[in-house]
């Protein structure tokens, strides 16, 4: 008997399944430099971890007084990101094992991300994760990105699983907040371990304060079994 029957797992992509944040930072740095902002730092980038690309560039316009439209900035950043991400994105080994373990057990799986559909498809294809992760929701397809619950609720709808039977795997505070708002349990693996005390992470059922260094496929699977059996 499959002890996880009726449960679905929804993964964030960037910083959770794959180490794509360096590519997003570089794409952002180059785009901003082109528009007269030469000193965009990694620390500046960290404030945008976990929110959609569209919301990121919208904030850039306000913060840096840019004259380019959101559409122009979005297209420029996505173009640069895709060039970097297609062949150079690494899946976290333990996350890959977790995906494979769940897929082997027939657990419905999805990706719900703030990235564009093109970026998600490129990364999943480039890492081979598209073999197991065929249900994909981009924040571009819903009304509001994280921390709103829209992407997770749409993923649940497409999987045909009630939100309360879904478990989210997330690396960022806005994603943990979105999972909580969607009524879903959450495994939180902070991309920036120093942000583990953020109040949004306090709502997670499992918080791995050390981030990816602390995450194991077997540990996450065992937690899923225990909490599903007691739910």
Element (H, E) at 176: helix 173-181
- Taking the CA atoms of 126, 131, 133 and 136 in sequence, report the sign of the dihedral they define: positive
Return the biggest CA–CA distance within the chain: 60
CA-to-CA distance for 108 and 144, rounded, in angstroms? Answer: 24
CA-to-CA distance for 183 and 166, rounded, in angstroms? Answer: 8
Residue 164 CB neighbours (<10 A): 11
Our CA dihedral for 119, 128, 166, 223, rounded to 10 degrees, sits at: -130
Question: Which residues are identified as catalytic?
Answer: 12
CA-to-CA distance for 7 and 108, rounded, in angstroms? Answer: 7
Q: 3-state DSSP call for residue 12?
A: coil
End-to-end Cα, the chain, rounded Å: 17
């Amino acid at each position: 008997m499959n002890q996880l029957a009726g449960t679905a797992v929804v993964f964030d992509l960037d910083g959770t399944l794959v180490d794509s944040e360096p590519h997003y930072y570089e794409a952002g740095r180059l785009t901003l430099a082109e528009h007269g902002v030469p000193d965009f730092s990694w620390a500046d980038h960290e404030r945008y971890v976990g929110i959609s690309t569209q919301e990121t560039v919208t904030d850039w316009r306000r913060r840096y007084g840019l004259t380019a439209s959101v559409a122009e900035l979005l297209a420029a950043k996505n173009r640069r990101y895709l060039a970097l991400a297609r062949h150079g994105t690494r899946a976290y080994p333990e996350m890959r094992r977790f995906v494979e373990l769940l897929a082997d057990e027939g657990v419905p799986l999805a990706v719900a991300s703030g990235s564009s559909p093109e970026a998600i498809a490129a990364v999943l294809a480039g890492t081979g994760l598209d073999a197991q992760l065929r249900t994909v929701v981009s924040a571009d397809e819903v009304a509001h990105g994280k921390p709103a619950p829209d992407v997770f609720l749409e993923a649940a709808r497409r999987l045909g699983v009630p939100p309360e039977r879904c478990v989210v795997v997330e690396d960022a505070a806005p994603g943990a907040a979105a999972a909580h708002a969607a009524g879903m349990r959450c495994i939180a693996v902070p991309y920036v371990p120093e942000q583990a005390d953020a109040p949004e992470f306090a709502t997670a059922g499992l918080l791995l304060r050390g981030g990816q260094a602390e995450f194991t496929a077997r540990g996450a699977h065992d937690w899923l079994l225990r909490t599903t059996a007691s739910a």
